[in-house]
Each structure stands twice: as C-alpha cells, then as structure tokens.
Amino acid sequence: MNIAPIIAQECNCSDLQINNVLELLQEGATIPFMARYRKEKTGSLDEVQLRDIVNRYHYLTELAKRKETVLEAIATQEKLTPKLQEQITACLDKTVLEDLYAPYKPKRRTRATIAKEKGLEPLAEWLKSSSSNTSKKISQAELEQEARKYLNPELEVNNVDEALQGAADIVAEQISDQSAIRAYLRSYLFKTGVFTSKIKKAHPEGSTKYEMYRNYQYAVRSIPSHNILALFRGEAEKILSLDIEFDLAEVLAELEYRLIETKSAALRALYRGIVADAFNRLLKPSLVREIRSDRKQYADLESIKTFEANLRNLLLAAPAGMQVTMAVDPGFRTGCKVAILGETGQFIAYQAIFPHSGQSKQEQAGETVRKLIKQHGVKLIAIGNGTASRETDRFIADVIKTLEVKPIKVIVNESGASIYSASDLGRLEFPDLDVTVRGAISIGRRLQDPLAELVKIDPKSIGVGQYQHDVDQKLLQQKLAETVESCVNYVGVNLNTASAELLKFVSGISPAIANNIVSYRNQQGKFSDRKELLKVTKLGAKTFEQCAGFLKIRDGKNILDNTAVHPESYAVVKKIAKSSAINLTEFGSASEQSNHNFSQKLSSINLQQFVTDKIGIPTLQDLLEELKKPGRDPREKFQYAEFAEGINEMRDLKVGMKLEGVVTNVVNFGAFVDIGVHQDGLVHISKLANSFVSDPNQVVKVGGIVKVTVMEINEKLKRIGLSMID
C-alpha cells in the first residue's frame, strides 16, 4: 500500500510534503524540530498538522500489516477471490477490513459450527439457494422432505425440527458475517439509535449525582462526550441501567427485504425466523458493543482534547519572573510553611509560622515574615490556595501594609504540589527537607515559572481534566506527553538552570541524556556555548541537531545562543547582520531605541538574496523575527486576580455579587472558577457570553482572570452557579 498519496489527499497536502515529513520522521526528527526548523521541507506545516500526518501514517502502517495477515489467512483457505482481494486491498478502515474478514475468521465453537459437525451445511446451502429463487415454490411438505435427508441419530439429528434448526443456525451466522449487512446496520443504529438510561430502583430520587439521567434519552449520533462518560461511569457504578433503543420492526423489515426473495410461504416463514435470530442473537449484541465503543472513543478523544487545551494554557501561563520569592503553604493547626527561593528558584531558607493560633503567635508570625522579606529582598509572595489560604492571604496583606517596599502577593493554585513533595523527584531534589517544605517550594516555583515546575508533576494530578480516570489511559498519557513536549519547545529552556525533568521534554533529549546534561553542568559549571553540549556523554551530532535550537544560554559567548536561531543558521545570520551594518554583540544589552533601530533595519532587508538550496524564505523570516526580539519569552504578560475582601467562605456569598476569579478548569459544559471561597463555582456554557457558545475554550482558558456574577448558592451540595454575561 502506497501510504503517502493517501495521506496527502486526506490532509490536503502535496505528495512531496508528505514524503518529506515521513523521511524526516525516519531520520529521527521530532515534530517540534520539523515544525520550527524544517519549514522548507514540510511546506510550513504546524505541529497539529504534523501530528495528524504521523498518527495517520502509523494507523495505515498497522492496517497494511493487518491486510497482509488477512489475505494470507483467506488464501490458505483457498477462498480468496479477485473481487475480495480487491476489496481488502482498497480498504482504508480497520472496522471495514474486519467485516470483510469475518466470514473467514476462525471462530470458537458456535451453534453454527456444531451444526456443520452434524453434516447440516448442505441443507443450509439448499435453504439459501431456495430462498433466492423467486419462481420455484416450496411447500412445507417439500421442506420437511429435504430435511429428512440429513437425519442421523449418531450425530444427534433425530428429527426434521433439529435438522432445520441446525441449518438455520448456519444461515444465521452467515448472515451476521455479511459485510454489507453489518455496514447497513451499523449506520442505521448510529443514525437513528437513542441512548436511554434509568436510575435503578435501589437509588431513590435525589440520592445520587446522576439525577439528570433518571429518565434520560439522547440520540447516539449527537450525544455530548461528557454525557457519554457520565452514563458509562454511572453504569459501572451500578447506579444506571443503560441501553440503545431503535425501531426493531424497521430493522427486521429491511433485512427481510434484502435477504428473502422466495414467494414460498413455508420458506419465507422459516427465513423470517432465521433473520430475526441472526439479528437478535448475533448482530445486535455485536453492533451495540461497536456503537458503544465508537461513542466511547469519541468521548475519550473529546475529553482528552479538553484536557490538552487546559494543560497547554496552564503550562504556558505567564511567569511572574525569576525574582526572590516567599512561598507560603497555608495551614491552621500545623501552621504555615514559609520557604524563601532565590532568583534561579534555589531554596534559601525555611520557617514555620503560626498566624492562626492566637494573637501572640500571630504577632510573632508577622515579625518573622517582615524579617524574611527585608533580609532576602523578597519581590514576590506565593500563597497556596488550599486550606487556610484566604485567612493567610489576609494575614500577609496586613504585614505588607507595614512595609515601605511592598512585594506582589499572589494566590497560587497548588493542585498536585503534594504529589510532587512526596514523589521520588521531590525527595531527590530536597532529601533533607520535610514534604511540607517541598510543597511550599513547589508553590513558589510555580509563580516564578509555571512551566519549569509543572513538568515535574504527572499532568493527571494537576486537576484540569474532565472524567480523566474514565478515558483511555494509554492515549491520555500519550497526548498529555505530546502537549508538555510542545509547550516546552515552544517556550525554550534555559540550559544552565533547567532541571533534568524539564530537559527530557526538549526535542531529541532522552531522560538519560537529560541527566547527563545536569551531571556535566554540576561538574564543569555553566555552559558558555551551545557547542559545549557535544561534550555531554551520549549527546551526539543528531541529538545536537534536534535539541540545540530549543536550549538557550543567557550571558554566553554568543548572543545567538540566547535565541531560537538554530546553530546551523548562524552563518546566514552573520551575513544578514553584516549586510545591514548591525553589530550582533549589542543585542540584548542594547537600549530600547537601539533595538527599535535594529528592527527597522531588519524589516527593510531583501531576504531573497540570502536564499540557498537549504534555507528558504520561511526560515529567513523566522530568523529576522528572532533578531528583532532576542531572548524573548513567547508567553503572555503576567497578571493575577485579586479576590474580594471579606469573601472567604461560601456563607459569605450572596446572589448578585460581582467578583473576580481565576479559571481553574474548562470542560465541555462550561468553566470552573476559583473566587476565593475554597469551592470553585461553575459558569455553565450558556452563561459564558451574551452570544451562543459552542466551545468554552473559545471564550475562557485555564489560568485566565474573569469577572463573574453569583447566580446560585447551594451550601449543602457545595455548588456555586456563576455567570459571565454582562
């Protein structure tokens, strides 16, 4: 099977583009590398397009291997006709391929195989040929006479009924194996079927979270993904009974029309029973499983897409910057854990304070915080949003009021910080610190640089998914890893401060090489040049090609090492700079006015003069953009929410209140927002905007700051209804 032209047609690309992508893939190129540094070869395809191509390639490659197996199996049975071979060869869908293979696939011992063992296959073939004969009429007596020929007590065929039943079982199985019949029924059930659910009698009204599914109906083809996952979860928990309903009479009528041609009343009556048995016993269970599986796969993909989008927004959240930070993990009885972090995120000091244990302890805690802020020159204060966060926030605010130089105070989402603090990685980084201190450090680092810290935590622990435990876990893990890889390479990594956990997501770098980079850095000191990477154990020329452009060195020997310009393009950059009389050594340290002048000069360059057989206009345009803003961070400018004073618990809320909050999760049916009361509120999709919203991600994103109005408060169920409609 020639895969490239098929993918080219499906993806609306040229054969050359697809062949180049597949060639790069075979050479070991990563998708981030192809998307950024091989635009001439790929035709400037982005990461999403490249992943679609690669995924389709793997699918079609697996399909081609399966076709070989199927063709060989049918040929061995000496049943491979030219028409069947043509159908299999042209097939581009695994389900269709299995339908074509079904009649020839080895089966477990069924009613049909038992009937064949009893010698009833010739009778089944006679029934089939007779049913397709429109001119010959067969009476009941003739039918029974034919069946008597196959009576054999030794094979347990003792009477006419047993003979006809065995033959009917063979015909029913043959009907269930017909690819055209299966295709029709699959399409019919998908287009007209309806998911129906009921809550089992053991669960009275209002006693479960599945109340909306008590008497639920929704079309199979249009049911929302989150409803599918909820139904399947409710069924697994034995709270819901779930079914797919359809018009059985219409299905049987269509099957009879397709399969019964005889005008013989006796034969028609027998065949109707065979058709009904084939559908009810063999086809319906199989196809309902397929439909459920299809909808589950669809729901998994949609849920994972939502998870990916949320994770991307969280990872790409604006960093507050690498400044001296005080990180506070709040607590009541056990106190607040306070950690001081330096400008590179290094741990400097730790102190436990007890601001919620009486006036005396509070005053003591306030003095401690003031002393730490002044002693270390704290610029940022990160407060975890868990237990006692609002009370701690209020306490810190009171302390800040007494200072001349006031640090910026931010409440930080601490989801997953406890996972990191108790992990092997947490113990490896800080073997001598308590888990609570590690948690505080993680909170502080999240404020400084969310991406660098969050990659240390399993994405599933960050809390931005939807039914994440119900979806295909292998696919979820793969897609989330791809998202992390994409984000890390999009932003780039500081080679001299990055952890091994961050480095392993850089294009081309394996976990082993990431550890080797850190070991080399610890032994030899900071990298001063990208070429020095080639001295790292096991980091060869191919790995260097894949990773170098994504690893940045600040204050190194070469200013270009702090850009996304790949070393392979340094020579052409020097030519561009020389032609425009630009001194590259002045980049980064130049004044804003000078950089503006550089930018103007670069914009006037005729790029065509620098085109070669390896570097085209797309790459040259990227080089100019990098030169205009060397060392830039592509993430948005940092901003933070300010929670309303005096609104600390659900009981403080009142309907109609207008508040500021942070989006913590986006799901298909809306968005969850932290408004500072220890319980996120839900903005339903219908309340996200004045106009119709089909996809919440078009309006909000995780980490975004929004203004909401309180619409509903249910303390018993811990539910808060919010609206973003102005």
Q: Please write the tens of the pLDDT for every residue from 36-72.
A: 999 999 999 999 999 999 999 999 999 999 999 999 9
Say if residue 88 is in the same domain as residue 132. Answer: no
Instruction: Inform me whether the pLDDT recorded for 461 exceeds 90.
Output: no
Indicate whether 494 belongs to any domain.
Answer: no
- Give residue 597's domain range: 514-628
Instruction: Inform me whether the pLDDT recorded for 592 exceeds 60.
Output: no
Q: Which of 628, 661, 678 is the last residue of a domain?
A: 628
The predicted pLDDT at position 219 comes to 97
Backbone φ and ψ for 674, nearest 5 degrees, come out as: -85, 115
Distance, in Å, from the CA atom of 474 to the CA atom of 462, rounded to the nearest integer, reads 18
Say if residue 153 is in the same domain as residue 290. Answer: yes
Assigned token pair, 90: 């042209």
Say if residue 50 is in the same domain as residue 118. Answer: no
CATH code assigned at 543: 1.10.150.310
Distance, in Å, from the CA atom of 14 to the CA atom of 4, rounded to the nearest integer, reads 9
Indicate whether 568 belongs to any domain.
Answer: yes
Distance, in Å, from the CA atom of 220 to the CA atom of 296, rounded to the nearest integer, reads 11
Q: Are 384 and 331 in contact (CB under 8 A)?
A: no
Q: Is 280 helix (H, G, I), strand (E, B) or coil?
A: helix
Q: Which of 448, 474, 489 is the last residue of a domain?
A: 448
Q: Are 317 and 309 in contact (CB under 8 A)?
A: no
What Cα–Cα distance (Å) separates residue 441 from each residue in 47, 252, 658, 689? 33, 66, 33, 38
Distance, in Å, from the CA atom of 317 to the CA atom of 56, rounded to the nearest integer, reads 31
Say if residue 82 is in the same domain as residue 116. Answer: no
Say if residue 522 is in the same domain as residue 595. Answer: yes
Angle of CA points 454, 524, 558, to nearest 5°: 80
Q: Which residue has the tokens 């090489």?
A: 513
Distance, in Å, from the CA atom of 587 to the CA atom of 231, rounded to the nearest integer, reads 58
Mean pLDDT across 137-163? 92
Residue count of the chain, please give it: 726
Could you tell me the pLDDT band of residue 438, with boundaries at 50, 70 and 90? very high
The angle that helices 265-277 and 248-259 make with each other, rounded to 10 degrees, is 130
Q: Which residues, 6+ apart, have CB-to-CB distance to 380 below 8 Å?
A: 320, 321, 323, 324, 325, 326, 407, 408, 410, 444, 447, 448
Could you tell me the pLDDT band of residue 451, with boundaries at 50, 70 and 90? very high
Could you tell me the pLDDT band of residue 166, with boundaries at 50, 70 and 90? very high
Of 142 and 597, which is predicted with more confidence?
Answer: 142
Indicate whether 228 belongs to any domain.
Answer: no
The predicted pLDDT at position 467 comes to 77
Instruction: Inform me whether the pLDDT recorded for 90 exceeds 60.
Output: yes
Of 112 and 603, which is predicted with more confidence?
Answer: 112
Q: Are 381 and 330 in contact (CB under 8 A)?
A: no
Q: Which of 598, 628, 658 is the last residue of a domain?
A: 628
Report pLDDT digits (tens) over 654-699: 999 999 999 999 988 899 999 988 899 999 999 999 999 988 988 9
Distance, in Å, from the CA atom of 196 to the CA atom of 434, rounded to the nearest integer, reads 52
Q: Going by DSSP bridges, is the β-strand pair 336-341/347-353 parallel, antiparallel, or unpaired?
A: antiparallel
CATH code assigned at 709: 2.40.50.140
Say if residue 87 is in the same domain as residue 125. Answer: no
Indicate whether 207 belongs to any domain.
Answer: no
Q: List the one residue out of 674, 683, 671, 678 whose CA is nearest residue 709.
A: 683
Backbone φ and ψ for 506, nearest 5 degrees, come out as: -75, 140
Q: Going by DSSP bridges, is the β-strand pair 681-684/551-552 parallel, antiparallel, or unpaired?
A: unpaired
Say if residue 442 is in the same domain as residue 546. Answer: no
Say if residue 260 is in the same domain as residue 183. Answer: yes
Q: Which residues, 6+ apart, have CB-to-CB distance to 402 below 8 Å?
A: 366, 370
Other C-beta atoms lying within 10 Å of the C-beta of residue 192: 15
Radius of gyration of the chain (CA): 34
Instruction: Inform me whether the pLDDT recorded for 133 exceeds 80.
Output: no
Q: Which residues, 6+ apart, have CB-to-CB distance to 67 below 8 Å?
A: 1, 88, 89, 91, 97
Could you tell me the pLDDT band of residue 607, with boundaries at 50, 70 and 90? confident
The predicted pLDDT at position 583 comes to 75
Indicate whether 600 belongs to any domain.
Answer: yes
The predicted pLDDT at position 190 comes to 96
**Number of domains present in the structure of the chain:** 5
Say if residue 122 is in the same domain as residue 36. Answer: no
Distance, in Å, from the CA atom of 700 to the CA atom of 707, rounded to the nearest integer, reads 11
CATH code assigned at 183: 1.10.3500.10
The predicted pLDDT at position 594 comes to 56
Instruction: Inform me whether the pLDDT recorded for 401 exceeds 70.
Output: yes
Distance, in Å, from the CA atom of 205 to the CA atom of 211, rounded to the nearest integer, reads 7
Q: Is 658 helix (H, G, I), strand (E, B) or coil?
A: strand
Indicate whether 624 belongs to any domain.
Answer: yes
Could you tell me the pLDDT band of residue 488, with boundaries at 50, 70 and 90? very high
Distance, in Å, from the CA atom of 250 to the CA atom of 447, rounded to the nearest integer, reads 62
The predicted pLDDT at position 595 comes to 59
Q: Are 168 and 273 in contact (CB under 8 A)?
A: yes
Instruction: Inform me whether the pLDDT recorded for 172 exceeds 60.
Output: yes
Q: Which residues, 6+ apart, have CB-to-CB distance to 372 below 8 Å?
A: 326, 338, 340, 349, 351, 378
Report pLDDT digits (tens) over 261-315: 888 899 999 999 999 999 999 999 999 999 999 999 999 999 999 899 999 999 9
Instruction: Inform me whether the pLDDT recorded for 590 exceeds 70.
Output: no
User: Mind spelling out the 3-state secondary structure of 290-356?
Assistant: HHHHHHHHHHHHHHHHHHHHHHHHHHCCCCCCCCCEEEEECCCCCCEEEEEECCCCCEEEEEEECCC
Say if residue 289 is in the same domain as residue 402. Answer: no
Report pLDDT digits (tens) over 688-710: 999 999 889 889 999 899 999 99
Say if residue 174 is in the same domain as residue 267. Answer: yes
Assigned token pair, 320: 């507050």
Indicate whether 184 belongs to any domain.
Answer: yes
Could you tell me the pLDDT band of residue 597, with boundaries at 50, 70 and 90? low
Could you tell me the pLDDT band of residue 625, with boundaries at 50, 70 and 90? confident
Could you tell me the pLDDT band of residue 347, with boundaries at 50, 70 and 90? very high
Mean pLDDT across 169-175? 96
Could you tell me the pLDDT band of residue 604, with boundaries at 50, 70 and 90? confident
Indicate whether 418 belongs to any domain.
Answer: yes
Q: Where are the strands (E) in 204-304, listed by range?
A: 215-219, 240-245
Mean pLDDT across 193-210? 91
The predicted pLDDT at position 464 comes to 72
The predicted pLDDT at position 32 comes to 97
Q: Mean pLDDT across the chain, nearest whole number?
A: 92
Q: Are 35 and 45 in contact (CB under 8 A)?
A: yes
Of 678 and 592, which is predicted with more confidence?
Answer: 678
Say if residue 330 is in the same domain as residue 412. Answer: yes
Distance, in Å, from the CA atom of 485 to the CA atom of 35, rounded to the nearest integer, reads 13
CATH code assigned at 393: 3.30.420.140
